[in-house]
């Protein structure tokens, strides 16, 4: 479907829908994409990003990243900054899988060393990191202890021996959003989440063994700073979030917001999926505290998964994980709302930043970065499909226009239902193995849903991201082994 006639090209990679495009728009809507990507973008993106531009308290623009596609409420790839005093908070601007995010881990092993053991490694990871719908983790928790995890995040993991101290430093916000309050989450949410710590889940979640080949390094200085120091170095990347717990938190508060939004606060929205409440209201603050619980659960989930990965590599190679160089590069979220301070019209302002399928990408020197990355900017991870590879990037110095936010993945081009009609999971597994990628999956249908043809070209998205000055490419990482939910 062609882009709206009102869409104007601002630069090679910036497109704008003016406030006249739709009644009620308070700010323009901006989409970052090359002409190739904007032409292929589904119509839902334009409708949804312009709906976001109508939300009370929105500042500057409603944004969509180069991987943008239709989502729930916001487009996936959506970004909106709200004035905390006059603006709203919306679960549709955060997502159901709260703090779905990416973690990248180094090794000092080469592809040549790993290849002979690849099947054993992937099989062991498939066994040790449960994947698929309803999977349960090995960490046994009471409901009360789960609430402690939800308030402490990765700090709880450190106390329990599932983390190294430096892991927390290499995690966004130290692996814990302060202000989480377990009294604001429902018993149903707790019941859905308390046994899922250390599990991958389903959908587009994955755990992947990857290779950084010399010909795929875009910036050697940044690659070295991020720990990519040897030819054909093997790394591990994984993508998952807060599982059923985060989904229930979002569901609970969407229902609450729908009941009070218009009746109590006089707010109307173009789409019920954008149900919201004033950020400073009791309902808004309760959701913010509950959302942080889901954020922290997801950090703990990824941390326990890392612990299991280290166990698998240590057992397989007969060496300590530290001796294998299994340090974190970074862990960054892409489904959150956060209070951050940014420059707006020449002055520093506190803003509530909704990132839905969009990743924080702080530039060099910014407060909140680990000391190790003060000069380089934040590592950014853009995950591709299991067939094509992923990217490690760095935050841009000049990323202030988008409140230092970038893309999060390659972005879907077709529904899961369409993908399953076009692809057979068993054949896809055989084809991938012939191309040197060994994959284990919890579901043939789930594998088919995640085939490469269901996604945009990751190279196109990464190139557009760099050309739009959202983040800088560092290295393209190629998959050789994959565990799929």
- The catalytic residue positions are 408
The annotation status of 335 as a binding-site residue, yes or no, is: yes
The annotation status of 334 as a binding-site residue, yes or no, is: yes
From residue 319, give the alpha-carbon distance in Å to each of 107, 120, 211, 326.
12, 16, 20, 11
The annotation status of 417 as a binding-site residue, yes or no, is: no
Q: At what angle do helices 243-265 and 282-317 cross, to 10 degrees?
A: 170
The annotation status of 384 as a binding-site residue, yes or no, is: yes
The annotation status of 242 as a binding-site residue, yes or no, is: no
The annotation status of 385 as a binding-site residue, yes or no, is: yes
Q: Are 107 and 208 in contact (CB under 8 A)?
A: no
What is the per-residue burial (b if ≥16 Cβ within 10 Å, else e) of 151-183? Answer: bbbbbbbbeeebbbeebbebbbbbbbbeebbbe
The annotation status of 484 as a binding-site residue, yes or no, is: yes
DSSP bridge pairs for 210: 235, 479
Integer Cα distance of 105 and 303 in angstroms = 11
The annotation status of 390 as a binding-site residue, yes or no, is: yes
The annotation status of 455 as a binding-site residue, yes or no, is: no
Written as six digits, the tokens of 387 are 């067939």
Q: Are 181 and 194 in contact (CB under 8 A)?
A: no
DSSP bridge pairs for 131: 201
Q: Measured over all CA atoms, what is the biggest interatomic distance in the chain, rounded to whole angstroms?
A: 64
The annotation status of 179 as a binding-site residue, yes or no, is: no
Q: Of 21, 76, 29, 27, give the one whose Cα is nearest residue 56.
A: 27
Per DSSP, helices labelled H in 16-152 are 35-40, 43-52, 111-114, 118-128, 143-152
Written as six digits, the tokens of 62 are 């409603």
Q: Of 367, 391, 414, give the one whose Cα is nearest residue 470.
A: 391
The annotation status of 57 as a binding-site residue, yes or no, is: no
Q: Of 234, 189, 198, 197, give the one whose Cα is nearest residue 213.
A: 234
Integer Cα distance of 320 and 397 in angstroms = 37
Written as six digits, the tokens of 5 are 């006639």
Written as six digits, the tokens of 245 are 């717990």
Q: Are 211 and 236 in contact (CB under 8 A)?
A: no
The annotation status of 328 as a binding-site residue, yes or no, is: no
Residue 347 burial (CB count, 10 A): 7
Backbone angles phi, psi at 100, to 5 degrees: -60, 130
Q: Of 216, 475, 167, give the one whose Cα is nearest residue 329.
A: 167
Integer Cα distance of 40 and 468 in angstroms = 18
Q: Is 397 helix (H, G, I), strand (E, B) or coil?
A: coil
The annotation status of 409 as a binding-site residue, yes or no, is: yes
The annotation status of 67 as a binding-site residue, yes or no, is: no
Written as six digits, the tokens of 44 are 């839902």
Annotated binding residues for Mn(2+), as ranges? 97, 205, 239, 334
Annotated binding residues for GMP, as ranges? 204-208, 334-335, 383-386, 390, 408-411, 484
């Amino acid at each position: 479907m062609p882009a709206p006639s009102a869409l104007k090209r601002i630069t090679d990679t910036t497109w704008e829908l003016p406030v006249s495009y739709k009644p009620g728009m308070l700010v323009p809507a901006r989409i970052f994409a090359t002409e190739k990507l904007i032409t292929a973008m589904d119509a839902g993106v334009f409708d949804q990003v312009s709906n976001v531009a109508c939300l009370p308290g929105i500042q500057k623009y409603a944004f969509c990243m180069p991987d943008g596609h239709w989502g729930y409420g916001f487009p996936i790839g959506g970004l909106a900054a709200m004035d905390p005093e006059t603006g709203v908070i919306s679960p549709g601007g955060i997502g159901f899988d709260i703090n779905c995010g990416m973690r990248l881990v180094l090794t000092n092993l080469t592809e040549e060393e790993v290849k002979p053991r690849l099947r054993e490694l992937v099989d062991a990871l498939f066994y040790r990191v449960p994947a698929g719908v309803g999977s349960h983790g090995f960490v046994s928790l009471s409901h009360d202890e789960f609430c402690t995890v939800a308030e402490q995040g990765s700090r709880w993991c450190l106390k329990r021996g599932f983390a190294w101290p430096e892991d927390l430093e290499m995690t966004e916000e130290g692996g814990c959003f302060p202000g989480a309050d377990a009294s604001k989450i429902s018993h149903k949410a707790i019941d859905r989440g308390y046994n899922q710590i250390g599990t991958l889940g389903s959908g587009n979640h994955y755990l992947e063994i990857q290779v950084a080949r010399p010909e795929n390094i875009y910036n050697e200085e940044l690659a070295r700073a991020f720990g990519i120091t040897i030819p054909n170095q093997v790394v591990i990347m994984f993508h998952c979030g807060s599982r059923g717990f985060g989904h229930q938190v979002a569901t609970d508060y969407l229902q609450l917001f729908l009941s009070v939004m218009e009746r109590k606060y006089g707010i109307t929205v173009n789409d019920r999926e954008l149900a919201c409440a004033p950020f400073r209201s009791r309902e808004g603050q309760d959701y913010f505290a509950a959302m942080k619980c889901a954020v922290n659960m997801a950090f703990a989930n990824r941390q326990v998964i890392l612990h299991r990965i280290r166990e698998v590599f240590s057992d397989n190679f007969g060496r300590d994980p530290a001796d294998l160089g299994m340090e974190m590069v970074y862990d960054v979220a892409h489904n959150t709302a956060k209070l951050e301070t940014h420059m707006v019209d020449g002055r520093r302002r506190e803003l509530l930043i909704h990132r839905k399928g969009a990743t924080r990408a702080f530039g060099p020197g910014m407060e909140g970065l680990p000391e190790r990355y003060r000069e380089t900017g934040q590592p950014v991870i853009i995950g591709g499909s299991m067939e094509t590879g992923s990217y490690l990037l760095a935050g841009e110095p000049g990323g202030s226009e988008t409140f230092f936010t970038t893309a999060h993945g390659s972005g879907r081009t077709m529904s899961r239902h369409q993908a399953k009609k076009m692809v057979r999971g068993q054949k896809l597994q055989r084809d991938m193995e012939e191309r040197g990628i060994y994959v284990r999956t919890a579901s043939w249908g789930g594998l088919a849903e995640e085939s490469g043809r269901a996604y945009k070209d990751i190279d196109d998205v990464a190139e557009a991201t760099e050309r739009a000055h959202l983040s800088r490419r560092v290295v393209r990482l190629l998959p050789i082994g994959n565990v799929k939910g």
